[in-house]
Each structure stands twice: as C-alpha cells, then as structure tokens.
Homo-oligomer: A and B are copies of this chain.
Amino acid sequence: MVTYFRRMDDDRVFKALADPTRRFLLDLLFAREGRTLGELESAVEMTRYGVMKHLRVLEDAGLVITRRSGREKFHFLNPVPIRQVHDRWIDKYTERHVAALVDLKNELETER
C-alpha cells in the first residue's frame, strides 16, 4: 500500500501514454526529433489547440523535452520514463527471456 501512494507521481507518464494521438506524436518524434508545433500539427487531423494540449501533457510527463529558438519551439523525445516503466515490471533476470520472446514474435509475424 506504501508503493501504491509513492508511485502516484508517475501518474502523469501513464496518463500521457493513454491517448493514441499522444502516442502518435511520440512516434513522430522517435522517427525524427526536433519538430515544431506547426510541423506536428500538419501530421495529425486535429486543430493546433488540440495538438498543443497533447504536447503539454507529454512535456509535463517528461516524455517530451522542448527547446525554444525565437518564435519556434522544438520538441524532442525523452526515452527515460519509458525505460522506467519497463523496469517497474520486468526485472533484470527475466528481461533477457522476455526480450528474446518478443523478438521471436516479431520475426514470426514479419516473415509471413
């Protein structure tokens, strides 16, 4: 029960990952970092305000890091919180097995 409350902090990370649009924004930044709001906006079927709100959520969660330059704001993906999610439920010992299993699954699925 202690854990229950202590962990409430990373609520923001999981809440941020819960929305498909936000995950897609992370995908875009994963493919190529340093994008501006306008650039991201054009990739999603949504108004600028919606995208901004999503980016705000991602930034608050620490999943996206920004850097301003003049009137532009560049967005970068931060993988650290993702790794922490991983480490929460996959310990060092089982990691090898699980990773191998997932890799195998991917191979089998792409082979077809």
- Chain A interface residues (CB < 8 Å from chain B): 1, 3-4, 7-8, 11, 14-15, 17-20, 23-24, 26-27, 30, 43-44, 77, 79-80, 82-90, 94, 98-99, 101-102, 105
**Once bound together, how far apart are the Cα atoms of A72 and B3, in whole Å?**
27
**Once bound together, how far apart are the Cα atoms of A79 and B103, in whole Å?**
14
Other than the known A27-B89, A84-B102, what 13 A-B pairs have Cβ atoms closer than 8 Å? Answer: A1-B43, A3-B27, A4-B44, A14-B14, A17-B17, A18-B18, A26-B89, A27-B88, A30-B88, A80-B101, A82-B85, A82-B86, A87-B102
Of A4, A7, A99, most B-chain CB atoms within 10 Å:
A4
* A contact face: mostly helix, strand, loop, or mixed: helix
Residue of B nearest to A4 (CB): B24
Known contacts A7-B23, A17-B14; A90 and B101 CB within 8 A of each other: no
Q: Which residues on the B side are within 8 Å of A44 (C-beta)?
A: 4
| Cβ contact within 8 Å between B98 and A90 | no
- Chain B: minimal CB distance from A81 (Å): 9
